[in-house]
Amino acid sequence: MLIAANWKMFKGPRETVDFLGRFRAPDGIDVAICPPFASLQAAADAGATVYAQNVHWEPEGAYTGEVSAAMLRELGVAGAVVGHSERRRLFGETDEGVARRARAAIEAGLGVIACVGETIEQRESGDMELILKIQVEALAFAVGAHERLVVAYEPVWAIGTGRTATPEQAAAAHAFIKRLLDVPVLYGGSVKPDNAEELLGQSDVDGALVGGASLEVESFTAICQAAASLS
């Protein structure tokens, strides 16, 4: 089981070193820390398994503000998150672009956590499966069921809102994704210590992509311990 901490635009190098100095992952689970770019080196030097929050599809070039897979590997980074809903919504990333990022990272030897998920409007209109099918099939075409690819299902309506998919909703979405692409699927969407065990205990849920609750050592440790208790 994989538990990934997505720190978004929080924690500079000093805070990263402090957090990792106090965090101890329980046995039986894999933990990835996804800090902002400025803190990647600090996290890697502290001995964490580190994933970047994005990666470009080209190895180099005139792409201001982007970072290549080769650069990440040189820092000791193990993988990258691609297609997070905030990247799609705020920065206009497309299914095609996300798939290209995933393929470039995989080909460079990185692991990938590729995010998919529907908005509340799409769910309520009955289009959840259609949206997931489009997003997942783009990844399936570009990468396939690669051993270093993990999908994260993040219902957009449950990110940073305090709302969480019910365990049954999460299980159904994960099962649907796995019918399209046979890879591990993490749940992401307001995972907290008080709901982690129930969510992670569902069939087809292979871990979690944790946002806000990963910023405090105590809450992230509690989520990891919940995962370890199920392993």
Q: What is the pLDDT of residues 137-164, one digit of tens each?
A: 999 999 999 999 999 999 987 776 667 7
**Which pTM value belongs to this model?**
0.95
Domain ranges for the chain, please list them. Answer: 2-230
Predicted local distance difference test score (pLDDT) of residue 165? 78
Known catalytic residue at 56 = no
Contact 150, 114 (CB under 8 A): yes
Amino acid at 214: S
One-character DSSP codes across 86-120:
HHHHHH---HHHHHHHHHHHHHTT-EEEEEE---H
- Token representation of residue 120: 């509340």
Of the pLDDT bands very low, low, confident and very high (cuts 50, 70, 90), residue 30 is very high
pLDDT value at position 161?
67
Which of 93, 118, 154, 174 does the annotation list as catalytic? 154
Query: Is-catalytic flag, 84?
Result: yes
Q: For residue 160, is it left (φ>0), alpha (ψ between -120 and 50) or beta? A: left
Contact by Cβ (8 Å): 165, 198: no
Tokens of 69: 């897979």
Least Cα distance to 145 among 110, 111, 183 occurs for 183
- Topology annotation, domain 2-230: TIM Barrel (3.20.20)
Q: Which of 41-45, 120-124, 155-159, 187-191 has the lowest mean pLDDT?
A: 155-159
**Active-site residue, from 84, 86, 118, 174:** 84
